[in-house]
């Protein structure tokens, strides 16, 4: 773990780290082929929530030793597990700046309360397309996972004010991005991973041609972990998350990555639910 100490420090300060070439070329090609077959005759974008957990061909990515060498360092050697927040994407890129956490408005809800237990969750985005052919970049705003510690208060106010669904609509319709200059833009190559705190504000850039990616979640099983699991598995019924296939659950158990399901706590304070404006923008973006 000592060899990745610099990544741990970077993750804590910025809220994300970039790992180059985590997947070899043959796996990249195989995953792209599978995604094309699954997406079928997609028009502009296709995405499958819970796709990694429900698709056996992607299970080996969950136990990738190169990835877990870094995760063990990020989690300080503390036991962590697969978190059921995962997706498959073809030609999909978020149209707006957003967070992947339950509570997407800063300071509202349990995601922002670390007084009892620390927030120890990550999202791992793996990209399969070449930058030269797509021009795709992932934009992330450093420090937006813990802005009180890592951002100037006035800059933080501007960032929070200029993010959200309305700003996303302006970005899509006019091309004007209010947060572009605050972000770091990561040009991804095949097999690259971006590991980020779900509370980090992020978005995808415009791109040409095809784009392929898949996302997974991991975390230390504490109250934040089980809130996050409950939100995606039970509260976000629009996403269609299901119980793990038996084979996948067995793999997680044998790999030490399984967290037994806990009874959900019902509604979660400040949980983000897509509204009518968001749904209209998403429908327009996919058309």
Confidence grade of residue 27 (pLDDT, cut at 50, 70, 90): very high
Span 36-66, pLDDT tens digits: 999 987 767 899 999 999 999 999 999 999 9
pLDDT of residue 146: 97
Q: Is the pTM of this model over 0.75?
A: yes
Confidence grade of residue 171 (pLDDT, cut at 50, 70, 90): low
**Domains of the chain and any CATH numbers:** 2-262 (2.60.120.620)
Is the model's pLDDT at 115 over the cut of 80? yes
**CB-CB contact of 159 with 151 (8 Å):** yes
């Amino acid at each position: 773990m000592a060899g990745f100490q610099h990544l741990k420090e970077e993750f804590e300060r910025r809220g994300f780290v970039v790992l180059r070439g985590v997947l070899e070329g043959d796996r990249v090609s195989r995953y792209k082929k599978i995604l094309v077959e699954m997406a079928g005759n997609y028009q502009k974008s296709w995405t499958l929530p819970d796709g990694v957990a429900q698709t056996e061909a992607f299970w080996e990515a969950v136990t990738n030793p190169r990835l877990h060498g870094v995760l063990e360092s990020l989690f300080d050697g503390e036991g962590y597990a697969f978190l059921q927040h995962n997706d498959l994407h073809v030609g999909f890129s978020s149209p707006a700046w957003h967070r992947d956490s339950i509570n997407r408005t800063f300071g509202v809800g349990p995601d922002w309360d670390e007084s009892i237990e620390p927030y120890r969750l990550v999202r791992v985005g793996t990209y399969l397309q070449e930058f030269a052919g797509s021009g795709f970049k992932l934009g992330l705003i450093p420090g937006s996972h813990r802005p009180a510690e890592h951002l100037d208060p006035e800059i933080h106010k501007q960032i929070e004010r200029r993010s959200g669904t309305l700003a996303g609509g302006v970005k899509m319709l006019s091309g004007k991005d209010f947060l572009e200059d605050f972000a770091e833009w990561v040009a991804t190559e095949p097999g690259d991973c971006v590991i980020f705190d779900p509370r980090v504000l992020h978005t995808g850039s415009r791109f040409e041609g095809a784009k392929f990616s898949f996302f997974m979640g991991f975390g230390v099983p504490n109250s934040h972990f089980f809130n996050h699991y409950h939100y995606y598995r039970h509260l976000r019924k629009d996403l269609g998350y299901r119980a793990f296939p038996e084979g996948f659950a067995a793999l997680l158990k044998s790999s030490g990555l399984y967290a037994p399901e806990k009874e959900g706590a019902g509604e979660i304070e400040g949980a983000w639910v897509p509204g009518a404006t968001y749904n209209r923008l998403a429908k327009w973006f996919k058309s």
